[in-house]
Amino acid sequence: MSNSQNILVKLKDAGFCINDKWLVKGVSLQVEKGKIVTLIGPNGSGKSTTAKIALGIYKKIDGEVEKYTNKIGYVPQKISIDWTLPLRVNDFMVLTENLNKEIIDEALSLTGVIHLKDKNLGDLSGGEFQRVLLARAISKKPDLLVLDEPVQGVDFTGEIALYELIKKISDELNCGILLISHDLHTVMSATDHVVCLNGHVCCSGSPLDVAKNNEYKALFGEQASQILSRYEHKHDHIHTDEGEIKKN
Amino acid sequence: MFDDFFIRALVAGIGVAFVTGPLGCFVIWRRLSYFGDTLAHSALLGVTLAFTMEFNIALSVFIISSLIALTLIQLQKRTNLPGDALLGLLAHSSLAVGLVVIGFLTFIRFDIMGLLFGDILAVTVDDLLIIWIGGALILLILKLIWKPLFASTVNYELAEAEGLNPDRAKAIFTILMAAIIAISIKMVGLLLITGMLIIPAAMARNISSSPQKMVIYSIIGGLLSVILGLFSSLEFNTSSGPSIITAALILFILSLFKIKQSIKLKN
Q: Is the pLDDT of residue B184 over 50?
A: yes
Indicate whether A3 and A86 sit together in one domain.
no
Instruction: Select the residue from A52, A55, A67, A95 to test the B interface by mutation, using most B Cβ atoms within 10 A.
Output: A95
Query: Which percentage of chain A shows pLDDT scores above 90?
Result: 28
Mean pLDDT value across chain A: 83
Indicate whether A86 and A195 sit together in one domain.
no
Answer yes or no: are the C-beta atoms of A146 and A54 closer than 8 Å.
yes
Helices assigned H by DSSP within B82-210 = 83-104, 112-117, 125-154, 156-161, 166-188, 193-207
Over residues A188-217, mean pLDDT: 82
Q: Which pLDDT score is estimated for B74?
A: 86
Q: Which pLDDT score is estimated for A4?
A: 65
| Residue A16 located in a structural domain | yes
pTM of the model: 0.85
* CATH value at residue A6: 3.40.50.300
Tens digit of each residue's pLDDT (9 = 90 or more) over B133-163: 999 999 999 999 999 999 999 988 999 999 8
Give the pLDDT band (50/70/90) at residue A201: confident
Are the Cβ atoms of A74 and B154 closer than 8 angstroms? no
Indicate whether A97 and A61 sit together in one domain.
no
Are the Cβ atoms of B211 and A120 closer than 8 angstroms? no
| Residue A161 located in a structural domain | no
CA-CA distances (angstroms) from residue A196 to A50, A189, A211, A233?
A: 12, 16, 10, 19
Q: Which pLDDT score is estimated for A184?
A: 75
Indicate whether A187 and A134 sit together in one domain.
no
Over residues B247-254, mean pLDDT: 96
Are the Cβ atoms of A96 and B151 closer than 8 angstroms? yes
Q: Which pLDDT score is estimated for B101?
A: 86
Indicate whether A127 and A53 sit together in one domain.
no
Indicate whether A149 and A43 sit together in one domain.
yes
Give the pLDDT band (50/70/90) at residue A240: very low
Are the Cβ atoms of B162 and A57 closer than 8 angstroms? no
Indicate whether A61 and A87 sit together in one domain.
no
Residues of B engaging A, defined by a Cβ cutoff of 8 Å:
28-29, 31, 147, 150-151, 153-155, 157-164, 205, 208-214
Q: Is the pLDDT of residue A84 over 80?
A: no
Are the Cβ atoms of B210 and A86 closer than 8 angstroms? yes
Among candidates B31, B164, B209 on the partner chain, residue whose Cβ is nearest the Cβ of A120:
B209
Which range has highest mean pLDDT (A24-28, A133-137, A240-244)? Answer: A133-137
End-to-end, the C-alpha distance of chain B in Å comes to: 53
Question: ipTM of the predicted structure?
Answer: 0.80
Considering only CB atoms, which chain B residues are within 8 Å of A120? 209
| Residue A45 located in a structural domain | yes
| Residue A225 located in a structural domain | yes
- What is the total count of domains within chain A? 2
Tens digit of each residue's pLDDT (9 = 90 or more) over A107-148: 999 888 999 989 988 888 888 999 999 999 999 899 999 999
Over residues B122-139, mean pLDDT: 92
Q: Find the closest chain A residue to B158 by CA distance.
A: A74
Are the Cβ atoms of B155 and A52 closer than 8 angstroms? no
Strand arrangement of the beta sheet that strand A72-75 belongs to: A72-75, A144-148, A176-180, A36-40, A193-197, A201-205
Indicate whether A87 and A67 sit together in one domain.
no
Indicate whether A211 and A103 sit together in one domain.
no
Q: Does A146 touch chain B (CB under 8 A)?
A: yes
Q: Is the pLDDT of residue B99 over 90?
A: no
Q: Is the pLDDT of residue A244 over 60?
A: no
Give the pLDDT band (50/70/90) at residue A90: very high
| Residue A208 located in a structural domain | yes
| Residue A213 located in a structural domain | yes
Answer yes or no: are the C-beta atoms of B40 and B116 closer than 8 Å.
no
| Residue A248 located in a structural domain | no
Helix (H) / strand (E) element for A17: namely strand A7-18
Mean pLDDT value across chain B: 88
Q: Is the pLDDT of residue A248 over 60?
A: no
Indicate whether A122 and A190 sit together in one domain.
no
CA-CA distances (angstroms) from residue B211 to B25, B150, B175, B205?
A: 8, 9, 22, 9
Please give the domain boundaries of chain B with CATH numbers for all domains. 5-193 (1.10.3470.10)
Indicate whether A150 and A58 sit together in one domain.
yes
| Containing structural domain, residue A23 | 1-71+143-154+168-240
Among candidates A76, A84, A91 on the partner chain, residue whose Cβ is nearest the Cβ of B158:
A76
| Residue A160 located in a structural domain | no
Over residues A182-202, mean pLDDT: 80
Give the pLDDT band (50/70/90) at residue B260: low
Are the Cβ atoms of B157 and A57 closer than 8 angstroms? yes
Indicate whether A148 and A57 sit together in one domain.
yes
